[in-house]
Amino acid sequence: MSDTVKFTIDEQAVEAKKGEKLLWAALKNDIYIPHLCAIKEEKRPNASCRLCFVEIEGIPNPVTSCTMNVEEGIVVKTRSPQVDRLLKTAFELLISDHNLKCSQCPANRKCALQKIAKERGLKLRQKRFKTITRDYEIDDSPDEFAFDRSRCVLCGQCVWADREKAKVGAIGFTKRGINRVVTTFEEVPLAESICTQCMLCVEACPVGALYYK
């Protein structure tokens, strides 16, 4: 029995391994789907960013492509009015709480938020939701990197890299809702935590929250 499945994304014929998630199959075929929180090696995606919606023929509502397995014969659309609406809302919510001084950001021009905005014709400004500005102190205690929470999108890439790749567990999520942040145990500065300064979290950050000094 074949271990591949054939289907279409935006009318393009695609082949992928059985069990593969739709998001990765699309990206492998140069079909862009916005995403922030997806981690290829993670078997149980948490689907928290809500950016990767697609439509599948026969399924009434859009689904997150990072959680959806590929299947033989499915007909996938990466754009539709409903998908675009969901993406716009998720994106605007995200940036309502984000430090948008892009010209001062180390990730300027290579930031995942800028890419999403460009690919989907979205603005890095929004008026629909109340803008939340917080005075987070930048943690520049490590020798070679710093952490600016005002730019964090809570995608969890750094937490995963720290736990699963570096096997350290120096950082994690704390608090709920709009107060949710990535931090160390007891919120001590990184240099005072068990962080080994391996830089894997910095490499994993898709925006400019964790950056080299």
Contact residues: ligand FES, CB under 6 A: 35-38, 47-52, 64, 66
As a whole number of angstroms, the distance between CA 60 and CA 68 comes to 15
At CA 159, angle to CA 158 and CA 162, rounded to 5? 85
Quote the least distance from Cβ 39 to ligand FES, whole Å: 9
Residue closer to ligand FES (CB basis): 26 or 38: 38
Residue closer to ligand FES (CB basis): 64 or 183: 64
Residue closer to ligand FES (CB basis): 64 or 184: 64
CB of 61 closer than 8 Å to CB of 92: no
Residue closer to ligand FES (CB basis): 66 or 207: 66
Residue closer to ligand FES (CB basis): 38 or 158: 38
Quote the least distance from Cβ 97 to ligand FES, whole Å: 16
Q: Which amino acid is at 136?
A: Y
Quote the least distance from Cβ 71 to ligand FES, whole Å: 17
Residue closer to ligand FES (CB basis): 177 or 213: 177
DSSP symbols for the chain: --SEEEEEETTEEEEEETT-BHHHHHHHTT-----SS--TT-SS----S---EEEETT-SS-EETTTPBP-TT-EEES--HHHHHHHHHHHHHHHHTS---GGG-TTTTT-HHHHHHHHHT--S--SSS------PPPB--SSSEEE-GGG-----HHHHIIIIIS----EEEES-GGG-EEEEGGG--GGGTT----SHHHHH-SSSSEEE-
Quote the least distance from Cβ 143 to ligand FES, whole Å: 32
